[in-house]
Structure 1
Amino acid sequence: MNVIDFFSGCGGASKGLEQAGCNISLGIDFEPDAASTYRANFPNAQFILDDVRNIAVEDVVNNVPNITEEPLLICTCAPCQPFSNQNNKKSDDDIRRTLLDETHRFISAFNPEYILLENVPGMQNVDADVEGPLCRFLSFLTKKGYQHLKFIAKSEEYGVPQKRKRLVILASRLGKIEEPAKTHGVNDIPYVTVRDAIAMLPELRAGETCEIDPVHRCSNLNSTNLERISLTPEGGDRRNWPSRLINKAHKDYEGHYDTYGRMSWGKPSPTLTTKCHGYSNGRFGHPDVRQNRAISMREAANLQTFPHDYLFTGTLGSMAKQIGNAVPCELARNFGLAILNHFNRVQEGQE
């Protein structure tokens, strides 16, 4: 099954779908660093570096002229920031809110057997009663004869060592498709933990880069933050500090305790964001009290279930943005398996 990955970013969804058994034909994104990362990890796939609004159907055909010779899956994970609860600057004028509409013309042109959409759960609440982007998309799919399934996926229930809720749409023009079965947190199968994901990596000090893995690098910390994290136990946060180290804004404030926090070894991590390289930006402190630093980019990638040798390009901040924006590979792999299993059942006449 061929895959066109719109808004591919650095390739999390593509890698998971490839691991499930799909053929990654084309990635599309407008971020240069993400494009460079994608190309490094998918040397046999084509890539279009441009804003999707500038891309014509003919451009896709020119890159992959045989795209419809095999069953086709269109993956569309449009930027989530316009819909995220983490974004305090959401605007009705944000042009990213209409990017999903751009995929309609490609779906009409290529008539794919399957469509996969992944985004933050908040997307379904945006203009829900006035034909918002998701409503328009689902209405379009129905008119095109697709049956679709909408559900909220908890990433930790699919083998991802991270708590990360996502809105998922699985659509097929070959018949009704079911929600993928959960793989963890059921049948006595425990969640994958931070320890499972990163404990094997070499120790680092703040600001260091591993000699054998340039992606295993972490941000530096000033003297105040070094003192703060040195006084923070595993799973702890600013509530463990003396009063003199607490920011004025937090002195009389209850809440947002994840900022300046350490992760816990025995749990899935909190949701990684595009600023997961920053100790002050969330519970991104390393759980090992001997390592007074934020997690490295390799550790962040492992928590997103990228392969251990996945290549990333760009600055530390760019890597964090790419990794934080990515679809966890293991989550995408489970979706890919569900799609391929459905297709096989259709071929065998079981659907």
Structure 2
Amino acid sequence: MSPVKVIDLFSGAGGFSLGFNREPFEIKLSVDINHAAARTYSINFPNTVVIEDDIRNITGRDIRYLIGGEPDIIIGSPPCEPFTGANPSRRSDPLERLFVDERGQLTLEFIRIVGELKPKIFIMENVPAIANIDVIRSSIEGEFLRIGYPKVYFNILRAEDLGNPSRRTRVFVSNVKLKQQKSARLNTVWNAIGDLADRPNLLPNHEIAEVSEEKIRKFARLDFGDYLSMFKGSSGRNIPLYIRLNPYRLAPTVMGNSRFIHPFENRFLTVREQARLMSYPDDHVFVGNRDEQYNQVGESVPVVFSTTIAREIMGILYG
């Protein structure tokens, strides 16, 4: 069986790639502009060509040269900030989010690369708003039609249904239809991190950050589900920050700015504990300063998503 060549655009720390990091898939190349994320990816995928650059500077010809041919599959996660309601500065005009916002235009760059390389399968991850807002959805469909993909599916999947211990609903825009799978049981925070409580510094990224005595006193007053502060998203919804996690329930959606408080201790979760909430294996190492590490985790595709999708793609290709 010849390898199935995969490239990952906007690869971040590699959560989307991890599901494809097995035979018959071969991850040939990744692209990310963030220095810490590119370093993280390079450490964890030593056999992959890692490009640390703005995707606008990269062409399909460059990629063909670097991987020695055409990719079979393109995956990627363009920035979601232009589209998510959690962004208080999101543009009010939906079309401007895609065509005017510089980060929104990166979705079009993903489509450009797909058009230049014509893979058998592409899968682009983002927030459900790009599927739920008609003018954005129809514009994306039109862009893919223009490059030769007349049928596009907006597959909305929930990570918690796959056993992820935190909530995350995402759309995977693809030229193949993906099914929402179901795990046998619902996971919880304590199932995910309970065994780590007595193992500080024994795993990578599991260093406990010191906090001030004032913060410790504030943490001590919080019950499960309570929070220290909140911010207002663009939709007017108040979004809590610094939540004390309920150990017996799912964690809320992990975001780049998420800093959760341990269920039983008066401290923030370590990066490793937060990575467990996104189903990362313990041998996946994050580099950069602590904030950069947290951001890499929060901006990831949960590994349960990528693992399930890769398995389904294998069935499509070889079933």
TM-score normalised by the shorter chain: which range applies? Answer: 0.7 to 0.9
What's the TM-score, normalizing by structure 2? 0.87
Is 1:296 aligned to residue 299 of structure 2? no
Counterpart of 1:76, as a letter, is G
Structure 2: runs of 5+ lacking an equivalent? 232-236
1:307 matched residue in structure 2? 281
Percent sequence identity over aligned pairs: 27
CA contact (8 A) 1:237 1:257 kept: no
CA contact (8 A) 2:163 2:185 kept: no
Secondary structure of 2:21's match?
helix
- Alpha-carbon distance between aligned partners in 1 of 2:166 and 2:118, rounded to the nearest angstrom: 34
Counterpart of 1:157, as a letter, is D
Is 1:6 aligned to residue 1 of structure 2? no
Task: Please report the RMSD computed on the Cα atoms of aligned residues, expressed in angstroms.
Answer: 2.4
Secondary structure of 2:31's match?
strand
Cα deviation, residue 231, structure 1: 2.2
Show CA shifts across 1:295-316 (max 9, x none).
Answer: 1100111111111111110001
Larger CA Rg, structure 1 vs 2: 1
1:17-56 to 2 correspondence within 5 Å? Answer: 17-18=20-21, 22-56=25-59
2:193 matched residue in structure 1? 198
Counterpart of 1:195, as a letter, is W
Show CA shifts across 1:181-200 (max 9, x none).
Answer: 4222xxxx221111121111
Is 1:105 aligned to residue 81 of structure 2? no
Secondary structure of 1:96's match?
coil
Is 1:89 aligned to residue 89 of structure 2? yes
Counterpart of 1:327, as a letter, is V
- Range that drifts further, 19-28 or 189-198: 19-28
- Alpha-carbon distance between aligned partners in 1 of 2:287 and 2:24, rounded to the nearest angstrom: 26
What's the TM-score, normalizing by structure 1? 0.80
Cα deviation, residue 338, structure 1: 1.3
Cα deviation, residue 170, structure 1: 2.6
Cα deviation, residue 317, structure 1: 0.3
1:147 matched residue in structure 2? 151
Secondary structure of 2:39's match?
helix
2:234 matched residue in structure 1? none
Counterpart of 1:273, as a letter, is M
CA contact (8 A) 2:201 2:207 kept: no
CA contact (8 A) 2:29 2:50 kept: yes
1:128-147 to 2 correspondence within 5 Å? Answer: 128-129=134-135, 132=136, 134-143=137-146, 144-147=148-151
- Alpha-carbon distance between aligned partners in 1 of 2:106 and 2:213, rounded to the nearest angstrom: 43
Show CA shifts across 1:304-339 (max 9, x none).
Answer: 111111111000100011111000011111111111
Cα deviation, residue 103, structure 1: 2.5
| Equivalent residues, number | 303
